[in-house]
């Protein structure tokens, strides 16, 4: 029986980037995927002839450019196209357009509030300052604050130096910021409710928190610290859909000699004498390796594909309690034409960007209230993008598809389990919401894919449908991710590692978790490091 | 102050001329970002330069090449005259094909670069960036049957570039356009006239150039934009062009090339070998301008060589001086164009480097600004042998629809 140097479980984009860097170092690697397609939550599939949905994640900003460049992902077919012209819709149909041009943006804000238009400069500067600090940690292994090893001390000094460079006042502000709610944070800057709602919306995405919940300010930051070609806070579309990212990384993996196996779900990680030695597939086949890397979330890894008796005391319990609450659904809609929205001019740029149906802070909080009671929001927050307006490869000419990220949607309903019927009712709530802003929208629908947290868990293995593989709250960030003491990608069992978004730097299509884990593995195996350092735009 | 019909606008002589496509372009130039090219009003960008660049790489865009010079060279001696002028063998250029050329002074320094279209056995079209009627008249001296006509104002020309460009032309009704190979010329009936289409461009991507009588320029625009509406068509300006051509590794006048006839300082112009265009020089053909100087240069090697560089970090190395070591003691060349390439995700540059230093280390001294403060860094560059960006669709016949 063939034995590999490394098995990576799960061909999501982080599993692929981990495999690619291990293969680049000369290791004999196999990446195992339970589905018949790769990509996990960064996948694109044709579910209706002619239309290619990005089924889960839909836009990209976190992907580390250093990795893109180093793995030569452009040559493997990846091109990231920034999109612009997002419109925020208020409760009463009022609109706030995000223009790419500074002067136009200022005038648009001023139309709503002169005060807020001026305040926006201070807001952007403060946010950029915070982002700059946290951005620098993305492609680094978090230090263990309790360790006296040289590497940890050096890394702590690195963080400390960055932190001190913020200045005394900002250091206080930063600590405050980490624990604040998005709404409170925004109160310091803005008076207009539509502007506040628009700015707050990144603070709840993917998280079971409301705009008034402490910790949501950080989530906001997490969504604006990425960049496209150095434009921090910008978001892009992968040409061909998010699956193009996974395909490109898989191309790099295979180029370096790595192997990829689909329809190869892992049933169990094999542990002998306290060491991971391989896996058993759902088919019963055993695959052995020197090390095993799990790209599954922490809860799934330790409670589903490991024997509790193979784990040191306390780990199973930690994994059980790992905060991984699902909060969002995804509705992908194939359309026979481009939807028109009330109150917007026939501007060829702004009718084609994203649409954010945020309403007001109040509406967003009420949407969260439903989730707390085990119901999907009856007036949900919806963030939409029409990728086909930008990408000629994902729908037939003149036809479109709309990606709708919906919050909130609970993993378990108060009135019993999810059924296909309830799933479709949830989908209709979303269509109703869009129809309110775009009369006639319903008539354009050709096909729909509705995914609640239940589908996200069943299809791509995200526990409770949490898109970040664990919430991004301070108790689960940096050296606390996934658990204190296990933040350096090494797991409690020897030769077992984790490389998914459950590890630092967390959720988002960054490929950084996978690359960071590869760096640690190569260190343990005494192989030369193949993972590049980040290239900072704000160096 | 306003002028009535009978007044003469005292500033009219100073205003830029408008191209045949101007009415449509002006409506789409949301930023009022205009520059000039050969006296014509010419867009720097229309909406957002980066967006327009991405249209060229992702969907398609149009670029107004009306201001580009178009000379019609006709007569029994037209072929011989052009063959005497340019370094490439024009006798090998078949009918309805286009070729890229340079022409040189007797000293073997480049006067300009451009393209030659063979429209008939005895008729050619020469296009170039700068007016050169004076050089053409000198080049025609001694040839009996040759007539050079400046057709710049009489031909409206629009470049359509990008992955969906072929699909758009098909949708516009140009049957068989997908069979055009790179550098082919095709003709299509267009209303009561003829539309000439060449599969040429300046972006390194799939693309075409459309040539039409000015009378039908706006009709062409409207039909093209109607066909392209569902294929992401967008006008793009000079800034996006400059990004795309640099990724493709094409030289730009006034950046890589300082025209020989406008050069004051000794050898501040370039030879084809220095521009890495030695492949355009054909010593097997009969005598041509600059031949003996170029032959000598070929033997001893060019003093400088235009080189593609990949530069660490993300700060474009614009105007950077290059050195052979980190101490920056001896300069060995300079960067001519530099940018962050969104398609390749690399910090790329073209640089003129003293040939003898090409084998050693190349360090770039880069100045960049952060919130008004100037910073300096010195980084080790990597020489790139192949073009930065060469998508397969640019060469495929038939090309894909996107």
**A271 contacts A307 by C-beta, under 8 angstroms:** yes
Q: Provide the pLDDT for residue B7.
A: 66
Q: What is the mean pLDDT of chain B?
A: 96
Contact status of A397 with chain B (Cβ, < 8 Å): yes
Interface of B with A (CB under 8 A): 31, 47-48, 50-51, 54, 57-59, 163-164, 167, 171, 230-232, 312-314, 340, 342-346, 370, 401-402
Distance CA(B83)–CA(B90), nearest Å, equals: 5
For position A538, what pLDDT does the model report?
52
Restricting to A residues 7-66, those with a Cβ less than 8 Å away from any Cβ of B are 65
Q: Are residues A249 and A203 both part of a single domain?
A: no
Same domain, A271 and A194: no
Residue B1 lies in a domain: no
Dihedral Cα B238, B239, B240, B243, nearest 10 deg: 120
CB atoms within 10 A of CB A191: 13
Across residues B91-111, what is the average pLDDT?
Answer: 98
> What's the pLDDT tens digit per position in B253-306?
999 999 999 999 999 999 999 999 999 999 999 999 999 999 999 999 999 999
Collapsing DSSP states into helix, strand and coil, what is residue A365?
Answer: helix
Structure tokens, A259: 């192997």
Chain B interface includes A73 (CB < 8 A): yes
Instruction: List pLDDT tens digits, range A154-181.
Output: 999 988 988 888 889 988 988 888 889 9
CA–CA distances in Å: residue A306 to residues A93, A269, A293, A364, A496: 51, 6, 13, 39, 11
Examine residue A354 and state whether it is found in any structural domain, yes or no. yes
Residue B380 lies in a domain: yes
Element (H, E) at A381: strand A381-385
Number of domains in chain A: 3
Same domain, B231 and B338: no
A169: domain range? 120-227
Q: Specify the pLDDT at position B3.
A: 55
What's the average model confidence in pLDDT over B65-84? Answer: 98
Tokens of B310: 């990949």
| pLDDT, tens digit, 9 for 90 and up, residues A331-385 | 999 999 999 999 999 898 987 779 999 999 999 999 999 999 999 999 999 999 9
Distance (Å) from the alpha carbon of B231 to chain A's nearest alpha carbon: 6
**A84–B314 C-beta distance less than 8 A:** no
- A118–chain B Cβ distance below 8 A for any pair: no
| A69 and A89 housed in the same domain | no
Q: Given strand B98-104, what is the order of strands in its sheet?
A: B98-104, B110-120, B123-128, B69-74, B147-150
Percentage with pLDDT > 70 across chain B: 98
Residues B179-214: tens digit of each pLDDT: 999 999 999 999 999 999 999 999 999 999 999 999
Domain assignment of residue B365, given as a range: 260-384
Could you read off the pLDDT of A101-129 as tens digits, one per residue? 999 999 999 999 999 999 999 999 999 88
β-pairing, A445-451 vs A80-82, is unpaired
Q: Determine contact: A74 vs chain B, CB below 8 A.
A: yes
d(CA A327, CA A368): 9
Task: Report the pLDDT averaged over residues B113-122.
Answer: 98
Among A68, A391, A535, the residue with its CB nearest the CB of B314 is A535
A531 lies in a domain? Answer: no
Same domain? For B353 and B284 the reply is yes
Q: What is the dihedral of CA A354, A357, A359, A365, to 10 degrees?
A: -120
Residue of A nearest to B313 (CA): A535
Asked whether the beta carbons of residue A100 and residue B51 sit closer than 8 angstroms, the reply is: yes
Average pLDDT, consecutive stretches of 10 residues, N- to C-terminus, chain A (539 residues): 93 98 98 98 97 96 93 96 93 93 96 98 92 88 91 91 88 89 96 96 94 93 85 89 98 98 98 97 97 98 96 95 97 97 91 89 97 97 96 97 97 96 98 97 98 97 97 91 95 97 96 98 97 75
pLDDT score recorded for residue A261 = 98
The encoded tokens of residue B38 equal: 């050969």
CATH classification at residue A47: 3.50.50.60
Flag if A397 and B230 touch (Cβ within 8 Å): yes
Whether B395 is covered by a domain: the verdict is: no
Eight-class DSSP state of A532 = P
pLDDT at res. A233: 80
**Separation of CA B194 from chain center:** 25
Q: Which candidate, B339, B163, B317, B57, places its Cα nearest to that of A229?
A: B339
Q: Do the chains contact at B313 and A68, CB–CB below 8 Å? A: no
The pLDDT of residue B297 is 98
The predicted pLDDT at position A228 comes to 84
pLDDT score of A114? 98
- Both A337 and A446 in one domain: the answer is yes
Convert the pLDDT of each residue in B346-386 to its tens digit.
Answer: 999 999 999 999 999 999 999 999 999 999 999 999 999 99
Q: Who among A229, A391, A539 is closest to B58 (CB)?
A: A391
Which chain B residue has the Cα nearest residue A389? B232
Confidence band of B64 (pLDDT split at 50, 70, 90): very high
d(CA B318, CA B339): 8
Q: Are B271 and B251 in contact (CB under 8 A)?
A: no
Which residues, 6 or more positions from B17, have their beta carbon under 8 angstroms from its beta carbon? Answer: B39, B40, B41
pLDDT of residue B9: 82
Same domain, A244 and A300: yes
Query: What is the model's pLDDT at position B4?
Result: 60
Name the minimum distance, in Å, from the CA of A391 to any CA of chain B. 7
User: Residue B336 domain-assigned?
Assistant: yes
Closest CA to B85 of B269, B297, B282, B305: B282
Do residues B285 and B375 both lie within one domain? yes
Contact A279, A291 (CB under 8 A): no
Structural domains in chain B (count): 3
Residues 6+ apart with CB under 8 A from A386: A338, A339, A352, A353, A354, A355, A400, A401, A402, A403
Cα distances (angstroms) measured from residue A37 to each of A14, A269, B237: 15, 22, 41
Question: Does residue A84 belong to the interface with chain B, where contact is any CB pair within 8 Å?
Answer: yes
* Angle, helices A361-372/A193-200, rounded to nearest 10 degrees: 50
Nearest to A16 by CA among A243, A262, A246: A246
Cα separation, B402 vs B399, whole angstroms: 8
CA distance B125 to B95: 12
Q: Are residues B288 and B342 in the same domain?
A: yes
Cα–Cα dist B111/B244, whole Å = 24
Please list, in sequence order, all residues whose beta carbon lies within 8 angstroms of the beta carbon of residue B255, skipping any fewer than 6 positions away. B336, B337, B350
Under 8 Å CB pairs connecting chains A and B tally to 61
Q: Which of B314, B348, B384 to mutate to test the interface with A (most CBs of A within 10 A)?
A: B314
Closest CB to A393 among B47, B342, B402: B402
B357 & B275 share domain: yes
Q: Kindly identify which residue of chain A lies nearest to residue B343, measuring between CA atoms.
A: A79
User: At which of A197, A227, A257 does a domain end?
Assistant: A227
Q: Is residue A460 in a domain?
A: no
B51 CB neighbours in chain A (<8 A) are 82, 84, 100
Structure tokens at A418: 């999810």
Q: What is the ipTM of this complex?
A: 0.95
Q: Are A69 and A96 within one domain? A: no
With contacts defined as CB-CB under 8 Å, which chain B residues touch A230?
314, 340
Q: What is the CATH number of the domain that holds B202?
A: 3.30.1360.120
Minimum distance, in Å, between the CA of residue B107 and any CA atom of chain A: 41
DSSP state of A142: P
CA-based nearest distance A188→chain B, Å? 24
Instruction: Let me know if residue B392 belongs to a domain.
Output: no
CB atoms A398 and B230 under 8 Å: yes
Minimum distance, in Å, between the CA of residue B342 and any CA atom of chain A: 6
Which H or E run contains B279? none
Q: What is the pLDDT of residue A515?
A: 98
């Amino acid at each position: 029986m063939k034995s590999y140097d490394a098995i990576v479980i799960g061909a999501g984009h982080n599993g692929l980037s981990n495999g690619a860097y291990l293969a680049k170092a000369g290791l004999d690697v196999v990446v195992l995927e339970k589905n018949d397609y790769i990509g996990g939550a960064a996948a694109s599939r044709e579910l209706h002839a002619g239309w290619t949905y990005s089924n889960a994640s839909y836009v990209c900003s976190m992907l580390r450019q250093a990795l893109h460049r180093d793995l030569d992902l452009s040559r493997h077919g990846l091109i990231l196209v920034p999109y612009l012209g997002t419109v925020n819709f208020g409760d009463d149909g009022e609109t706030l357009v995000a223009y790419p041009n500074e002067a136009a943006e200022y005038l648009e804000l001023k139309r709503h509030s002169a005060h807020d238009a001026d305040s926006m400069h201070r807001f952007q500067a403060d946010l950029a300052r915070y982002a700059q600090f946290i951005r620098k940690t993305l492609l680094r292994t978090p230090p263990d604050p309790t360790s006296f090893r040289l590497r940890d001390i050096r890394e702590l000094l690195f963080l400390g130096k960055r932190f001190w460079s913020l200045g005394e006042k900002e250091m206080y502000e930063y600590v405050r910021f980490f624990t604040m709610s998005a709404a409170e944070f925004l109160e310091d800057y803005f008076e207009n409710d539509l502007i506040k709602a628009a700015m707050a919306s990144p603070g709840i995405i993917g998280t079971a928190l409301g705009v008034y919940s402490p910790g949501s300010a950080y989530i906001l930051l997490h969504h604006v610290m990425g960049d496209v070609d150095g434009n921090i806070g910008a978001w892009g579309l992968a040409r061909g859909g998010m699956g193009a990212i996974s395909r490109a990384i898989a191309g790099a993996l295979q180029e370096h000699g790595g192997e990829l196996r689909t329809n190869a779900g892992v049933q169990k990680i094999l542990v002998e004498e306290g060491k991971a030695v391989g896996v058993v597939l759902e088919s019963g086949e055993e695959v052995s390796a020197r090390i095993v890397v799990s790209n599954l979330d922490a809860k799934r890894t330790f409670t589903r594909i490991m024997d509790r008796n193979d784990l040191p005391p306390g780990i199973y319990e930690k994994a059980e309690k790992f905060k991984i609450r699902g909060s969002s659904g995804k509705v992908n809609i194939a359309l026979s034409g481009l939807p028109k929205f009330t109150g917007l001019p026939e501007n060829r740029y702004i009718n084609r960007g994203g649409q954010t149906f945020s309403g007001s802070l109040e509406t967003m909080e009420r949407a969260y209230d439903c989730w707390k009671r085990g119901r999907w929001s009856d007036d949900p927050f919806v963030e939409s993008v029409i990728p086909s307006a930008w990408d000629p490869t994902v729908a037939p000419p003149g036809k479109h598809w709309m990606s709708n990220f919906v919050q909130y949607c609970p993993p378990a309903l108060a009135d019993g389990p999810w059924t296909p019927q309830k799933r479709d009712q949830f989908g209709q709530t979303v269509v109703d919401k869009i129809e309110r802003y775009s009369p006639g929208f319903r008539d354009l629908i050709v096909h729909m894919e509705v995914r609640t947290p239940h589908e996200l868990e069943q299809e791509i293995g995200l526990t409770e449908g949490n898109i970040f593989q664990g919430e991004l709250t301070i108790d689960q960030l940096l050296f606390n991710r996934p658990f204190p003491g296990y933040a350096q990608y090494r797991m409690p069992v020897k030769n077992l590692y984790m490389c998914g978004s459950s590890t630092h730097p967390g959720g988002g299509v960054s490929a950084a978790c996978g690359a960071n884990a590869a760096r640690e593995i190569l260190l343990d195996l005494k192989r030369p490091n193949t993972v590049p350092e980040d290239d900072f735009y704000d160096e | 102050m306003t002028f009535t019909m009978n007044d003469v606008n005292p500033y009219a002589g100073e205003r830029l001329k408008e191209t045949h496509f101007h009415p449509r372009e002006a409506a789409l130039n949301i930023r009022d970002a205009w520059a000039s090219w050969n006296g014509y009003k010419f867009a720097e960008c229309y909406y957002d330069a980066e967006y327009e660049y991405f249209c060229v790489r992702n969907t398609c865009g149009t670029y107004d090449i009306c201001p580009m010079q178009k000379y019609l060279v006709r007569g029994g001696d037209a072929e011989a005259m052009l063959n005497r002028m340019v370094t490439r063998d024009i006798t090998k250029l078949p009918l309805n094909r286009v070729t890229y050329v340079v022409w040189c002074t007797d000293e073997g320094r480049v006067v300009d670069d451009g393209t030659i279209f063979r429209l008939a056995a005895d008729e050619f079209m020469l296009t170039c960036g700068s007016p050169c009627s004076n050089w053409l008249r000198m080049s025609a001296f001694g040839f009996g049957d040759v007539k050079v006509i400046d057709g710049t104002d009489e031909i409206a020309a629009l470049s359509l570039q990008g992955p969906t460009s072929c699909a758009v032309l098909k949708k516009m009704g140009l049957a068989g356009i997908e069979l055009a190979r790179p550098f082919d010329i095709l003709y299509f009936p267009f209303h009561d006239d003829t539309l000439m289409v060449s599969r040429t461009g300046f972006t390194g991507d799939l693309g075409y150039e459309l040539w039409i009588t000015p009378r039908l320029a706006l009709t062409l625009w409207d039909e093209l934009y109607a066909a392209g509406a569902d294929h992401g068509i967008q006008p793009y300006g000079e800034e996006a062009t400059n990004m795309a051509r640099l990724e493709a590794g094409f030289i730009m006048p006034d950046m890589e090339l300082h025209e020989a006839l406008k050069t004051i300082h000794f050898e501040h112009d370039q030879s084809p070998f220095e521009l890495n265009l030695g492949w355009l020089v054909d010593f097997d053909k009969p005598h041509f301008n600059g031949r003996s100087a170029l032959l000598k240069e070929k033997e001893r090697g060019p003093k400088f060589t235009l080189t593609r560089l990949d530069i660490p970090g993300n700060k474009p190395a614009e105007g950077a001086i290059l050195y052979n070591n980190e101490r920056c003691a001896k300069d060995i060349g300079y960067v001519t164009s530099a940018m962050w390439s969104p398609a390749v995700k690399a910090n790329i540059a073209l640089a003129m480097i003293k040939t003898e230093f090409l084998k050693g280390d190349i360090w770039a001294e880069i100045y960049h600004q952060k919130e008004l403060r100037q910073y300096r860094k010195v980084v080790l560059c990597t020489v790139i042998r192949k073009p930065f960006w060469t998508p397969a669709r640019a060469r495929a016949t038939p090309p894909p629809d996107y």
